[in-house]
Amino acid sequence: MRIAIIAYDHISPFMLSTPLAVFGEGLLAGGHQVQVCSDQFRLNTSGGMIIEAAHRLDAVDDADIVILPGWRSVDEPVSPDIVAKLKAADARGAIVVGLCLGAFGLAEAGLLDRRRATTHWAHAETFAARYPRVTVDAAALFVDEGRVLTSAGVASGLDCCLHLLGRICGIGEANRIARHLVVAPQRAGGQPQLIERPAIGSTADRRVTELLEVLRADPIAPPSLDELAKRSNMSRRSLTRHIRARTGGSLGEWIRRVRVARAKELLVAGVRGLDDVAVRSGFPDAHALRTAFRTEVGVTPVQWLAHQRVPGAALSLMSGKS
């Protein structure tokens, strides 16, 4: 597999490093190629550094995955040469990814017409006005439309790349890389871009963070909200407010996401039978597990597992259903 990351003059070093951090180590170790491609050998960056691209832009022509990590400005059209490479990649069936303002390049190439997409929330209105044939989801962290993916601003590029890594190499590898990067592996694309957080380092913030980490470690039978409020020395209303600020939703919604993440790990590990997976991940039964999967992932557990690189796992799971 070959992954081409398109670089350009005055690129953000963070945006360029995002796909490199996710895809570089694991895929290179497996004999795959991850190449930074540009129409210039030497590039200035927005952080004042100068970097050198090892591959010319034509190297994009043979890539299985093409990633455009951002763009300089919404007020500057994406380079016609880059747009042409994106169009050609789509035409030959490659996966094309636009991180943050890179979505503007994909839209300019016509790859997002009649599709959902996202970009940085601050530029979503401009994006929607400029490309009316695109269905803009300004709240999403990332949007997966099959062969075309887009992400919101900055850090959500990590979520998008980890999600794609899970598609091509399996959720186990994506979780391993996430742990290495010290980021949460279970953030779904539908989580909100904008989450109002309490003051960093505040006593209440630390208490809620510690509480959530305890629940993440054992999400099977969490105490009631009243019990958690008492344990945290906070009122129920205050705890609810802090949890929403920290997670973007209710405690129940967060627990569901954690349980789905646990279920994914069990499925990939080869646990047989949906009822067994459900109970071990905190759901009362297989029906509840399927409902949560459809809500969080958009497919059933069997359908999700069929897309992971675990030979025979979906058939094994189906044969083990009770």
Cβ neighbour number for residue 138 with a 10 Å cutoff:
18
Mutual angle of helices 236-247 and 203-217, in 10-degree steps: 70
Q: What is the pLDDT of residue 47?
A: 79
Report the pLDDT value the prediction gives residue 155, as an integer from 0 to 100: 83
Nearest-CA neighbor of 145 among 117, 167, 113, 170? 117
CA 260 to chain centre: 15
pTM for the full predicted model: 0.68
CA-based radius of gyration for the chain: 21
Residues in the chain: 322
Q: What is the pLDDT along the chain (322 residues), one digit of tens a residue?
A: 899 999 999 999 999 999 999 998 666 666 788 999 999 999 999 878 999 999 999 999 999 999 999 999 999 999 999 999 999 999 999 999 999 999 999 999 999 999 999 999 999 999 999 999 999 998 888 998 989 999 998 788 998 999 898 888 877 788 788 878 877 655 655 555 555 544 444 577 778 878 888 888 888 888 888 999 888 888 999 889 888 877 778 889 889 988 988 888 888 778 888 999 999 999 999 999 999 998 887 888 888 877 665 444 444 555 554 4
Q: List the structure tokens of 138.
A: 């300004």
* Cα separations in angstroms, 234 against 211, 224, 227, 255: 12, 14, 10, 20
Q: Report how far apart, in Å, the C-alpha atoms of 193 and of each of 154, 159, 163, 303 are.
A: 10, 11, 16, 27
CB 106 within 8 A of CB 55: no
Q: Where are the alpha helices (DSSP H) in the chain?
A: 13-29, 80-91, 102-108, 124-130, 156-169, 171-181, 203-217, 225-231, 236-247, 251-269, 274-281, 286-296, 301-306, 313-319
